[in-house]
Structure 1
Amino acid sequence: MDQANNSPIQLTASAVEEVKKLLQGATEAPYLRVGIKGGGCSGVAYMLGFDALMEDDDLFDIAGIPVIMKKAHGMYLMGMEIDYQQDDAATGFVFRNPGKQAD
């Protein structure tokens, strides 16, 4: 896995392949944004999408993909692995934090 510029996240090979396909499409913003939402009773939800670079963003190059995230989100995303899975049950991006055990 390529983890340039001390990125707090990693992208699996299948996630890199899928993001590169999506970037070749009709995306208006050239950056992959990774972040969090929430934090209340139900915990945090992870988000993934294409966006423009903003002043309070950190920029990372992961396997040739420009990845951005809010500076404040880095501590919540540290060690996160993003995978792309495709099977009979579901297709999509999956967030995994190998350093945290499920309850």
Structure 2
Amino acid sequence: MSLTLPPRVTDRAFARLAEIAEDTGEVKALRVAVEGGGCSGFQYDIRLDEPASDDTVLEKDGMKVLIDAVSLPFLANAVIDFSEELIGARFVIENPNASSSCGCGTSFSM
């Protein structure tokens, strides 16, 4: 049985959060949540937010990534990264728990 670990946030994702804070003049945490819906059954909800009491907080250099208790099992051992490609720059989730995902990368099934 594999060990269940909280997701890992890359240095690139934390660096992008720091850039956003610098651009907007306010430090906000990045919330990564899993919700029902999307074309594959589940979808990611990634947005700037304030911490809640039951969040798991991943922190580096004052930047925070928040995961609520319901979403945490879906994101076990995942990697939260920031990607800059021709189609645009965005936060991306590399999730080993997803058995399939859609082309846009925001929806998955387990």
In the superposition, the TM-score normalised over structure 2's length comes to: 0.67
Provide the rounded CA distance (Å) in 2 between the counterparts of 1:70 and 1:53: 9
For 1:21, which of 19, 23, 30 is the aligned residue?
19
* Runs of 4+ deviating beyond 6 Å: none
Summarize deviations over 1:32-80 as a string: whole Å, max 9, x none.
211112158731111221111223322232x232222211211011111
| Structure ranking higher in helix proportion | 1
Q: Find out whether 1:70 has 2:33 as its counterpart.
A: no
How many pairs were matched up? 97
TM-score, scaled to structure 1 = 0.71
Shift of 1:30: 2.5
CA shift, 1:92, in A, is 1.4
* Unaligned segments of structure 2, at least 5 residues: 102-110
Cα 1:7–1:24 shift into 2, 3 Å: farther
Q: For structure 1, which runs of at least 5 residues remain unmatched after alignment?
A: 1-5
Q: Does 1:80 align with 2:65?
A: no
